[in-house]
Amino acid sequence: MTSEPMLGLHVSIAGSMDLAFDRAKEIGASTFQIFTRNPNQWKFSPIPDETITAFRGKRNESGFRKIVDHMPYLPNLASPERSTAKISRYSLDEEVKRCDVLGIDYLVIHLGSHLGKGTAVGVANIAEACNEAIAGSGGDTAILLENMAGQKNSVGARFEELEMILDRVKEDGRMGVCLDTCHMYASGFDLASKAAVESSMGLFDEVVGLERLKAVHLNDSKGALGSRLDRHENIGDGNIGRSGIREFLRYPGVAERPIIMETPYRDEAAERKTMKTVRSLFPQGGSQ
């Protein structure tokens, strides 16, 4: 590696959105993920001009190469129900625009549930939603599909489903994948050893393409392999384990992407410890 890895956490925007940069720097992060609004509500307010200016200013000062936003939890882009699909698509449209004005590189989206109507229906709905959002966008923010843990009726746990969505979106340059290691493991893709990582990531490369991997959610898993349990654990304390996480980070190309942890850290001291632990697992200790 020729530069420091992009490693960070999901951070708060409490007080002011631009404070995310300060919080990231305090724990030694070189990237981060945020929500631009309350993730558990449909309603939201426009971003004030002064907030946009402050956020963009700190972005320039920070030198952070990539910044990630996460969609709110309520939208279900795979839904076959008209009313749910309509409000979910509106939410995606507006979130892409918010990312555009802030200069955020990637928007990670959960794909949702087809509610028993079948994967093909869910895939078509998600692709159509992404096409509409990109068409209405005046910026460069890319939408990243997050793989799911395999819950009943969910879309996106299998690599083939991610590929099907990507192939249906017209602007390929505005799309990609964010791989969540906990979700991978819970959905049956083993990551607990070097051989397992090579097999699982080799399949991802074959089906989706490593070039479409734009970001990573690095989380250990409370659940067992194939449990379909979406429960994140601190790095090294779950079933993937420290050695599995190390091998994943050392898989060719992975460490070059933004690595975001969504682990259940308790306070700033725990965040710093997590950052230190993960940095030690990168090739050459993170090339610092």
Residue 288 inside a domain? The answer is no
Residue 68 inside a domain? The answer is yes
How far is CA 220 from each of CA 122, 178, 236, rounded to the nearest angstrom?
A: 28, 15, 7
Residue 2 inside a domain? The answer is no
SS3 at position 7: strand
pLDDT at position 287: 41
Q: What are phi and psi of 145, to 5 degrees?
A: -80, 125
Quote the DSSP letter at residue 254: G
Average pLDDT of the segment spanning 253-261: 97
Q: What is the CATH number of the domain that holds 51?
A: 3.20.20.150
Taking the alpha carbons of 268, 273, 275, 276 in that order, is the dihedral positive or negative?
positive
Tens of pLDDT, residue by residue over 35-69, are: 999 999 999 999 999 999 999 999 999 999 999 99
Tens of pLDDT, residue by residue over 71-103, are: 999 999 999 999 999 999 999 999 999 999 999
In the numeric block, which tokens belong to residue 27? 């724990």
Contact between 192 and 167 under an 8 Å Cβ cutoff? The reply is no
Quote the DSSP letter at residue 121: H
Residue 40 inside a domain? The answer is yes
Residue 105 inside a domain? The answer is yes
pLDDT at position 148: 98
Residue 275 inside a domain? The answer is yes
What does the alpha-carbon distance between residue 74 and residue 257 come to, in Å, rounded to a whole number?
27
Contact between 223 and 183 under an 8 Å Cβ cutoff? The reply is no
**Residue ranges making up the domain that contains 134:** 7-282
Residue 1 inside a domain? The answer is no
Identify the burial level of 107 via C-beta atoms within 10 angstroms of its C-beta, where 0-12 means exposed, 13-18 middle and 19 or more buried.
Answer: buried
Tens of pLDDT, residue by residue over 181-210, are: 999 999 999 999 999 999 999 999 999 999
Residue 203 inside a domain? The answer is yes
Bridge partners, 176 (sequence order): 144
pLDDT at position 265: 76
Number of domains into which the chain is organized: 1
